[in-house]
Amino acid sequence: MKAVLGLEDGQFVVGDGFGVEGECSGELVFNTIMTGYMEAMSDPSYYGQILMFTFPTIGNYGVDVQNMQSQNVKVRGMVCREICDAPDVKPTIRHYFEQKKLLGICGVDTRSLTIKTRVKGTLRSALVVGSDDGEYAVKLAKNAPAISDFDPIPEVSCKAPYRIPGKGKRIALIDLGLKTNMITSLSRRKGDLYIFPYNAVPEDIFSIEPDCLFITNGPGDPKRAVQTIETVKKCLGELPIFGICMGNQIAALALGGDTYKLKFGHRGANQPVRYHDGRIFITTQNHGFTVDGDSLPEGCEVTFVNANDGTVEGFENEDLKINCVQFHPEAHAGPMDTECHYFDGVFRRIS
């Protein structure tokens, strides 16, 4: 089965399709992980994007559904150099994509596409499985909306509040694309979790008398999350506030700060960040936007910066009891250094 990936700049590449016939469009983004491909594809923060893996072979340990970060794959399509058809554990990626009616392309030069993305920045793309019509794929890519032109959060947030009981501190979570490992990390510390959808109002949050507010990761441009930003504004100074990834950006916007789009984002499990005491942590990341550190108001301190490009990877405000990070400590990249550093800190600050 043929497949073609078209880019908004007019380039297209033909490869081998897997999954089912169909088409999709969205930003083409790359991830540098060597393992954890199922965790990545099921991460709600990728909703609305086509995910390309830089590691040449994907699927060498089959489909690991136990560690998926949501109930199903969230990417619109997947691009890789090669898929493994004979892993030690079944099912294979090919079988899983067929079963779940997903779209994929392999047999393409992912290194060249990654270099192009790093040079030109993230490009809109379209994947057509079951055809090699490159001109049609390019047309779809050019007509695809930019990531800031639509709001994908309602598609991945929970539809109604729910609770995961615990014997410890009561934590209100605003779900913008909640990952399973965040629940695991908080529950391991006996958190009593109340999860609210993206459009929760302050009265919803205060009604449970929480010990803190936690803002999750999520897809898209944080400035589109207008309702969440307004809710967090009303909680400033009333509750300790913690956030991860988009939660970091939402907290900054609620304080009057600003965010901007990165050229090609940070997506991988080997991103080094420097803590303000000089320590370096290796982190997992998945974001295309970041906080403008110079825009943060007085009282805020940037706590982490990316060691590669100097962008903001976390900030805190001790007076308002805000502590947020841009990376994903629950993903155990170091393998568990930032998980303990951050989540233990959450519970210390609300004890």
What would the pLDDT profile of 298-316 be if each residue is shown by its tens digit? 999 999 999 999 999 999 9
pLDDT tens profile 220-258: 999 999 999 999 999 999 999 999 999 999 999 999 999
Q: Taking a C-beta distance cutoff of 8 angstroms, is the pair 108, 2 a contact?
A: no
Residues carrying CATH 3.50.30.20, the chain: 2-146
HSE-CB of 221 using CA atoms within 13 angstroms? 15
C-alpha–C-alpha distance, residues 341 and 333, integer Å: 12
Q: What is the pLDDT of residue 26?
A: 98
- Active-site residues, by number, are 245, 328, 330
Q: What is the pLDDT of residue 336?
A: 79
| Strands, sheet with 322-325, edge to edge from the N-terminal-most edge strand | 162-164, 192-196, 170-174, 212-215, 241-244, 322-325, 312-317, 301-306, 259-275, 280-291
Percent of the chain, pLDDT > 70?
A: 100
153-349 CATH:
3.40.50.880
C-alpha–C-alpha distance, residues 308 and 265, integer Å: 12
C-alpha–C-alpha distance, residues 206 and 65, integer Å: 36
- Give the CA distances from residue 183 to residues 95, 178, 192, in Å, rounded to whole numbers and listed in that order: 29, 8, 10
pLDDT tens profile 34-82: 999 999 999 999 999 999 999 999 999 999 999 999 999 999 999 999 9
Residues carrying CATH 3.40.50.880, the chain: 153-349
Bridge pairing between strands 170-174 and 212-215: parallel
Q: What is the pLDDT of residue 335?
A: 76
Assign 130 a pLDDT band (cuts: 50, 70, 90). Answer: very high
C-alpha–C-alpha distance, residues 87 and 347, integer Å: 41
- Read off the pLDDT of each residue in 102-108 and give the average, rounded to a whole number: 98
181-188: Cβ within 8 A, 24+ apart: 181/69, 181/328, 181/330, 181/331, 181/332, 182/216, 182/217, 182/244, 182/330, 184/330, 185/329, 185/330, 185/339, 185/343, 186/214, 186/343, 186/346, 188/343
Q: What is the pLDDT of residue 333?
A: 80
Query: What φ, ψ does residue 81 adopt, rounded to 5°?
Result: -75, -45
Of 243, 247, 244, give the one whose Cα is nearest residue 225.
247
Q: What is the pLDDT of residue 337?
A: 85
- Give me the chain's average pLDDT, please: 97
Whether the ω angle into residue 272 lies within 30 degrees of 0, i.e. cis, is no
Q: At which residue do the structure tokens 């207008």 appear?
A: 226
HSE-CB of 291 using CA atoms within 13 angstroms? 36
Percent of the chain, pLDDT > 90?
A: 97
C-alpha–C-alpha distance, residues 323 and 258, integer Å: 17
Q: Coil, strand, or helix at residue 243?
A: strand
Q: Encoding tokens for residue 113?
A: 């596409």
Q: Taking a C-beta distance cutoff of 8 angstroms, is the pair 112, 15 a contact?
A: no
CATH tag for 2-146 (out of 3.40.50.11540, 3.50.30.20, 3.20.20.70, 3.30.360.10): 3.50.30.20
